């Protein structure tokens, strides 16, 4: 996946013919990596869920896990059956991806993947055979609904949706929530279940989607290769003389690595940064809150995977969105850094004298990693290749830098671990995106966007009131829904509404992603809160309290971005003029 796009990019520069069918191969590998990653995530119980089961009493958690395991087995079995129908239809059609490669052979990984996830849902549901036996009943629920109960039977849909809501709260993975919703609604409408895997494959077939696993891989190469330590030395050398300099360095490095995932920055940098902040006299709770809040900053900078997906799905030109997002993102980063400066002055945080020699040495030591963002931006906006090719070039360069130049990433020791970890994260994301698109397709089929537009226009006349309500709704969505699922489900609903109220599409994208940044911090189920509680072994209440001031500050910046469109449109107009 990494090598083929790099070869294509190089071939184009030298006017060579390239490798026939390489783009198709890379797209199909995206599907395979997504499904294999989903199986890996199910093996280690890392399929993304709401994690609200952690609030349950200890005695309830065992039965809750059995119920959610049964539900996961039921949904995955149904998706496996739907994939079988899809694979069979493609085999009967005789379609080929490449000469000698039937299309159905590539699609078969969907059937295998969902079947494996269903079986693992049963095996992981309980340590006792009785609990597993109860969970195994979920394997037979699809057959009951699909072959015994007639389509559209009165009362089945409300009862099934209620049960799905309950197991969602109990910890059912997000992909199974949307998959279950889509399957139930399509079943009630008499639409074939194969519609869900068809939509999933349609998403994977996007020429831009392979950039997601490739950018993620680049981030993992850098983190596992020790880039965080070298870049932290750079930021510390440059800012430690300023009041709150270490806090600024913390915000800066977390923002840089957000493209690799907010969880990655918290988990990999937490053990390094928080002790450093405490040592320089920052309070521990403030240090944890700062790192937790900074973990989701940077989602509007170039190469941000959620921003890329938003552009793909909303058909917003990528250069325009990233240009319009420059000032809003800098505003959010600056506000968090300003809190660090204030706390540094308040508590007399230790400052170090600026030493030009140390700053130069730190920059020289990290020069190759400092060059990687430049490669990303030049590859993306310089006209040298597509988004996927720019992502592949970034991953390839990160691999070369960490393995052969710094030599901190060992092929015999670390390479396999990096790939498995990256595939696990990517698999969880792509599963959510695929089934969420199936659910979105039903919403379009049921004309939900048109009905929503009519209702909002009837009840909300003011554009500014609409923006306020939109911010509140997106804040709630970001707290309870994964950002990738939110893009696929919510964007088709709000994009037409934004057009009705005359909101610039780029500003709408900035508002959307900025709100979802806050969702990572919003109690009770913001994902960054759980990651910090896990990393620092603190009660959830302590993490929420430590993060709350930053949440309110970032809410204020989002309102400013919403009601001062100049922040978005001024850079955009400057770029268009150029």
Which pLDDT belongs to residue 39?
93
Which pLDDT belongs to residue 74?
92
Which pLDDT belongs to residue 553?
92
What confidence tier does 501 reach under pLDDT thresholds 50, 70, 90?
A: confident
Separation between Cα atoms, residue 97 and residue 9, nearest integer Å: 22
User: What are the tokens at 436?
Assistant: 């969420």
Asked if 494 contacts 470 with a C-beta cutoff of 8 angstroms, the reply is yes
312 pLDDT above the threshold of 80: no
374 pLDDT above the threshold of 60: yes
Which pLDDT belongs to residue 267?
67
- For tokens 């992603």, the residue is 513
Separation between Cα atoms, residue 574 and residue 571, nearest integer Å: 5
pLDDT-wise least confident of 62-71, 82-91, 470-479, 543-552: 470-479
User: What are the tokens at 312?
Assistant: 């793909």
Separation between Cα atoms, residue 193 and residue 107, nearest integer Å: 16
Give Cα separations from 313 to 195, 209, 484 (angstroms): 19, 10, 11
Please, how many CA atoms are within 13 Å of residue 485, restricted to the half-sphere of its CB? 26
Which pLDDT belongs to residue 578?
58
> Taken in order 378, 384, 390, 394, is the CA torsion positive or negative?
negative
Give Cα separations from 74 to 117, 131, 147 (angstroms): 10, 15, 14
Separation between Cα atoms, residue 380 and residue 301, nearest integer Å: 12
Which pLDDT belongs to residue 263?
59
52 pLDDT above the threshold of 80: no
Kindly report, residue by residue over 319-332, the tens digit of the pLDDT.
788 888 888 989 99
Q: What is the share, in percent, of the chain residues with pLDDT greater than 70?
A: 92
Which pLDDT belongs to residue 249?
87
Give Cα separations from 135 to 50, 78, 159 (angstroms): 20, 15, 19
Report the predicted TM-score, pTM, of the whole model to 2 decimal places. Answer: 0.81
Contacts 24+ apart (CB under 8 A), 26-30: 26/1, 26/210, 26/388, 27/204, 27/205, 27/206, 27/207, 27/209, 27/210, 28/97, 28/106, 29/1, 29/210, 30/1, 30/204, 30/209, 30/210, 30/212, 30/213, 30/430
Kindly report, residue by residue over 162-209, the tens digit of the pLDDT.
888 888 888 888 888 888 888 888 888 888 878 888 888 887 777 778
216 pLDDT above the threshold of 90: no
Kindly report, residue by residue over 558-578, the tens digit of the pLDDT.
999 999 888 888 776 665 565
Asked if 171 contacts 50 with a C-beta cutoff of 8 angstroms, the reply is yes
- For tokens 């994902």, the residue is 527
């Amino acid at each position: 996946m990494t090598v083929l796009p790099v070869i294509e990019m190089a071939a184009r520069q030298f006017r060579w013919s390239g490798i026939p069918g390489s783009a198709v191969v890379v797209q199909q590998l995206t599907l395979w990596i997504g499904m294999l990653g989903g199986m890996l995530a199910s093996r280690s119980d890392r399929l993304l869920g709401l994690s609200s089961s952690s609030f349950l009493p200890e005695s309830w958690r065992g039965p809750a896990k059995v119920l959610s395991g049964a539900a996961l087995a039921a949904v995955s079995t149904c998706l496996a059956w739907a994939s079988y129908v899809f694979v069979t239809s493609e085999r009967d059609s005789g379609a080929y991806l490449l000469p000698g490669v039937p299309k159905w052979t590539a699609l078969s990984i969907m059937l295998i993947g969902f079947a494996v996830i269903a079986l693992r849902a049963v095996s992981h549901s309980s340590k006792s055979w009785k609990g597993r036996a109860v969970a195994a009943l979920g394997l037979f629920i699809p057959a009951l609904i699909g072959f015994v109960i007639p389509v559209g039977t009165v009362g089945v849909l409300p009862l099934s949706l209620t049960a799905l809501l309950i197991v969602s709260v109990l910890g059912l993975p997000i992909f199974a929530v949307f998959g279950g919703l889509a399957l139930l609604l399509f079943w009630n409408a008499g639409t074939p279940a194969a519609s869900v895997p068809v939509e999933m494959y349609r998403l994977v077939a996007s020429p831009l989607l392979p950039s997601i696993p490739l950018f993620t891989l680049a981030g993992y190469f850098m983190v596992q290769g020790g880039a965080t330590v070298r870049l932290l030395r750079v930021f510390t050398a440059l800012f430690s003389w300023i009041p709150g300099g270490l806090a600024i360095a913390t915000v800066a490095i977390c923002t840089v690595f957000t493209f690799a995932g907010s969880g990655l920055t918290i988990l990999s940098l937490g053990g390094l940064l928080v002790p450093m902040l405490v040592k320089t006299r920052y309070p521990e709770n403030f240090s944890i809150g700062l790192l937790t809040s900074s973990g989701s900053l940077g989602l509007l900078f170039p190469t941000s995977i959620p921003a890329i997906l938003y552009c793909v799905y909303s058909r917003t030109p990528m250069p325009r969105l990233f240009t319009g997002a420059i000032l809003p993102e800098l505003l959010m980063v600056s506000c968090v850094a300003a809190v660090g400066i204030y706390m540094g002055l308040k508590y007399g945080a230790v400052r170090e004298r600026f030493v030009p020699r140390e700053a130069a040495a730190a920059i020289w030591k990290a020069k190759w990693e400092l060059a990687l963002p430049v490669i990303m931006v030049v590859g993306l906006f310089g006209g040298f290749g597509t988004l996927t090719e720019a992502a592949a070039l970034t991953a390839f360069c990160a691999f070369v830098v960490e393995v052969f130049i710094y030599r901190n990433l060992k092929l015999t020791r670390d390479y396999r671990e990096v790939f498995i970890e990256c595939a696990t994260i990517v698999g969880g994301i792509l599963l959510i995106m695929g089934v969420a698109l199936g659910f979105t397709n039903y919403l379009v089929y049921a004309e939900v966007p048109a009905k929503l537009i009519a209702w909002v226009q009837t009840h909300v006349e003011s554009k500014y009131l609409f923006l306020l309500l939109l911010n509140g709704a997106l804040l709630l969505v970001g707290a309870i829904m994964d950002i990738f699922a939110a893009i696929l489900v919510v964007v088709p609903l709000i994009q037409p509404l934004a057009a009705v109220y005359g909101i610039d599409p780029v500003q709408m994208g900035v508002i959307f992603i900025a709100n979802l940044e806050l969702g990572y911090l919003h109690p009770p189920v913001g994902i960054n809160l759980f990651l910090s509680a896990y990393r620092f072994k603190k009660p959830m209440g302590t993490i929420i309290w430590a993060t709350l001031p930053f949440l309110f500050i970032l809410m204020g910046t989002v309102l400013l971005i919403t009601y001062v469109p100049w922040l978005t449109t001024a850079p955009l107009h400057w770029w268009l003029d150029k």
